[in-house]
């Protein structure tokens, strides 16, 4: 079958929207590190919608590991399909904002040259939580991280996002070129601050003149939201049938999208507000709300759902007891901890989240969300738990989410079969829990992980007791039975 490309674009069915700008005029203004499905269904779409106004904001997408995206997109001139779907139907559209793709391990110098180029005014990131090479409990650079050690030793030949950013900034400093704006689009609290702290510390470990330059880099925080499950072969086949040409790398997502950004871009920025982004002076209240309500619920339902045999989020939501549990978690345990957001309708937001989780058209795997729990739990569940404990308030549902993670992360499901646990701490967790059956001993081993629980939460006797209770119930009767106990919403 012919491939989607600039050449085949004019021949697509007329119902499929295509770029409304001349792609030959688009030049690179943004280097994006971590060009996965999330970036292509979110920031690249916002950018696609403003290129007709200003074609100098094309995207160079960089993969830090695998060549898959470049291999798929290059023969397609960077074009790919965005499929937006929910129970009400679907739309297809071709996105053209990615005009170059690079694979960092293959050619790190090409990536650095692009980042150091004065035309590059923004370097954005979706490298997932673990890509920050930090201690997730405290948000500081992990100075013993393998990639950090490697990149400090080989600054001109880096492999981590942090190493690339600092080396590119060093080259800009040497060449007398102003620093680009660094735009973190990952699910971290105050993601701009975390990134700034991590790159600043890394630069300090390299040299102090460079550190002074890095200290002045603008790192606006962002809150970024769209549910984007991994694309499946069935998606690819259905999209090829609709297009009449093959697209090896489409993305599938929901109608909802949200982007709240701090407006601090010294070298300018795309007019993303024209595509619906919201610029605010301070993003942290939005970020806390989203991480605690959306992502906190997501992780809780992913672990409990996976253990109860639900393959997707929508299936997990249909388990008896799951919806009341998640509604109660959001309403009673998370909402009281949130900073005030004037004029924001929290009730409508929570209702919308439930509807989004139940979207029957998305096959969002519980296993996908369960990944990297050790990096996600601190900002999704543990910060909320800390606030609840401090307020002397209950947090049983949040604790159940953490206990379900512990169950899952040990690597054995309810039938005693191995779980394919993907997590930077997976080996450490497997080793420390091997042969343990007593819930008290399992909890004691987990809460000793200071990268996750810091040095306070693990010592909280009330929290430990509640975790032991929840894990005992899960081990004794399983997740489905536990969920069934939450069927009646509390008044
Ligand atoms: C999910 C997020 O995979 C996960 O951990 O919770 O990717 C979630 O879908 C997005 O943050 C939604 O904006």
pLDDT (tens digit per residue) in 70-109: 999 999 999 999 999 998 899 999 999 999 999 999 999 9
Distance (Å, rounded) from C-alpha 205 to C-alpha 200? 9
CA neighbor of 61 nearest in space, from 73, 46, 48: 73
**How large a percentage of the chain has pLDDT more than 70?**
99
Quick one: the chain helix, strand, coil %, rounded to 5?
A: 50, 15, 35
Ligand 1 atom at shortest distance from the alpha carbon of 295: 6
pLDDT in tens, 51-75: 999 999 999 999 999 999 999 999 9
Residue 225 Cα to ligand 1 midpoint, Å, equals: 8
Q: What is the pLDDT of residue 432?
A: 97
Average the pLDDT over 147-162 and give the result: 98
Output the CA 227–ligand 1 centroid distance in Å: 6
Is pLDDT at 489 greater than 90 in this prediction?
A: no
Calculate mean pLDDT across residues 111-126: 98
Q: Please, which pLDDT band fits residue 466 given cuts at 50, 70 and 90?
A: very high
Q: What strands, in cross-sheet order, belong to the sheet with 80-86?
A: 89-95, 80-86, 251-253
At 415-442, the pLDDT tens digits run: 999 999 999 999 999 999 999 999 999 9
Q: Which of 52, 35, 27, 192 is nearest to 118 (CA)?
A: 27
The neighbour count for residue 344, using CB atoms within 10 Å, is 12
Q: What pLDDT score was predicted for residue 488?
A: 77
CA of 186 to the centre of ligand 1 (A): 10
Q: Residue 491: is its pLDDT beyond 80?
A: no
Q: Is 227 left (phi over 0), alpha (psi -120 to 50) or beta?
A: beta
Distance 174 CA to ligand 1 centre (A): 38
**Ligand 1 centroid from CA 467, angstroms:** 24
What is the per-residue pLDDT for 1? 84
Report the distance separating Cα 487 and Cα 167, nearest Å: 54
**pLDDT tens-digit readout, 401-417:** 999 999 999 999 999 99
54: number of Cβ within 10 Å: 16
Which residues fall within 8 angstroms of residue 268, CB to CB, at 6 or more apart?
121
C-beta separation of 409 from 421 below 8 A: yes
CB 61 within 8 A of CB 47: no
d(CA 164, CA 56): 23
Q: What is the mean pLDDT of the chain?
A: 97
Tokens of 281: 């002076």
pLDDT digits (tens, 9 = 90+) for 6-19: 999 999 999 999 99
Ligand 1 pocket test: pick from 225, 227, 377 the residue with the most ligand atoms within 8 Å of its Cβ.
227
Instruction: Mention every residue, 6+ apart, whose C-beta is less than 8 A from residue 315.
Output: 305, 366
218, pLDDT greater than 80: yes
What percent of the chain is predicted at pLDDT more than 90?
Answer: 98
Residue nearest to atom 13 of ligand 1 (CA): 225
pLDDT at 359: 95
Name all residues whose Cβ lies below 6 A of ligand 1. 187, 225-227, 294-295, 298, 368-369, 376
How many Å apart are CA 327 and CA 245, to the nearest integer?
43
Strand partners, 58: 28
Q: What is the pLDDT of residue 35?
A: 97
Class of residue 354 by CB neighbours under 10 A (exposed 0-12, middle 13-18, buried 19+):
middle
In angstroms, how far is CA 178 from the centroid of its own chain?
A: 29
Q: Whose CA is nearest to atom 8 of ligand 1?
A: 227
490 has pLDDT over 70:
no
Q: 154 alpha carbon to ligand 1 midpoint, in Å?
A: 33
Other C-beta atoms lying within 10 Å of the C-beta of residue 109: 9
Which residue has its alpha carbon closest to ligand 1 atom 10? 227
- Distance CA(381)–CA(39), nearest Å, equals 24
pTM above 0.85, yes or no: yes
Residue of the nearest CA to atom 11 in ligand 1? 225
Cα distances (Å, whole numbers) of residue 415 to 91, 298, 301, 398: 40, 23, 19, 24
Q: Is the predicted pLDDT of residue 468 greater than 80, yes or no? A: yes
Distance from the first to the final alpha carbon of the chain:
58
What is the pLDDT at residue 467? 98
List, for residues 244-275, the tens digit of each pLDDT value: 999 999 999 999 999 999 999 999 999 999 99
């Amino acid at each position: 079958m012919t491939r989607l490309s600039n050449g085949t674009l004019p021949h697509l069915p007329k119902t499929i929207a295509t770029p409304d700008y001349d792609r030959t005029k688009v030049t690179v203004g943004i280097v994006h590190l971590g060009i996965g499905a999330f970036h292509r269904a979110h920031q690249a779409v916002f950018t696609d919608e403003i290129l007709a106004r200003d074609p100098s904001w094309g995207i160079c997408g960089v993969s830090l590991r695998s060549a898959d995206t470049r291999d798929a997109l290059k023969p397609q001139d960077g074009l790919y399909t965005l499929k937006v779907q929910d129970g009400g139907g679907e739309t297809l559209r071709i996105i053209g904002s990615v005009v170059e793709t690079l694979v960092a391990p293959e050619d790190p110098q090409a990536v650095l040259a692009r980042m150091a180029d004065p035309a590059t005014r923004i370097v954005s990131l979706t490298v997932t939580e673990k890509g920050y090479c930090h201690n997730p409990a405290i948000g500081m650079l992990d100075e013993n991280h393998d990639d950090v050690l490697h990149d400090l030793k080989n600054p001109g030949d880096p492999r981590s996002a942090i190493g690339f950013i600092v080396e590119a900034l060093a080259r800009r400093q040497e060449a007398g070129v102003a620093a680009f704006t660094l735009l973190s689009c990952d699910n971290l609290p105050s993601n701009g601050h975390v990134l700034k702290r991590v790159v600043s510390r890394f630069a300090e470990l390299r040299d102090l003149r460079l550190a002074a330059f890095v200290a002045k880099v603008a790192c606006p925080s962002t809150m970024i939201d769209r549910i984007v499950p991994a694309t499946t072969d069935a998606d690819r086949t259905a999209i090829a049938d609709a297009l009449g040409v093959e697209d090896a790398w489409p993305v599938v997502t929901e109608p909802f999208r949200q982007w709240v950004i701090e407006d601090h871009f010294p070298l300018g920025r795309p007019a993303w507000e024209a595509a619906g982004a919201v610029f605010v002076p301070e993003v942290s209240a939005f970020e806390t709300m989203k991480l605690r309500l959306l992502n906190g619920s997501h992780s809780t339902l992913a672990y409990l759902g996976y253990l109860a045999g639900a393959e997707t989020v929508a299936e997990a939501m249909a388990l008896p007891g799951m919806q009341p549990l998640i509604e109660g978690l959001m309403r009673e345990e998370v909402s009281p901890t949130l900073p005030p957001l004037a004029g924001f309708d929290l009730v409508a937001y929570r209702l919308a989240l439930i509807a989004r989780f139940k979207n029957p058209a998305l096959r969002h795997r519980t296993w996908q969300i369960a990944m990297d729990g050790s990096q996600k739990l601190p900002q999704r569940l543990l910060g909320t738990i800390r606030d609840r404990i401090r307020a002397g308030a209950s947090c049983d549902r949040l604790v159940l989410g953490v206990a379900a993670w512990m169950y899952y992360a040990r690597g054995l499901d309810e039938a005693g079969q191995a779980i394919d646990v993907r997590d930077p701490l997976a080996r450490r967790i497997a080793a420390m829990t091997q042969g343990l059956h007593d819930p008290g001993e399992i909890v004691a081993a987990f809460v000793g992980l200071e990268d996750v629980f810091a040095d306070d939460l693990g010592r909280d006797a009330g929290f430990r007791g509640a975790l032991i209770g929840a894990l005992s119930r899960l081990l004794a009767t399983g997740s489905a039975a536990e969920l069934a106990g939450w069927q009646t919403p509390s008044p």
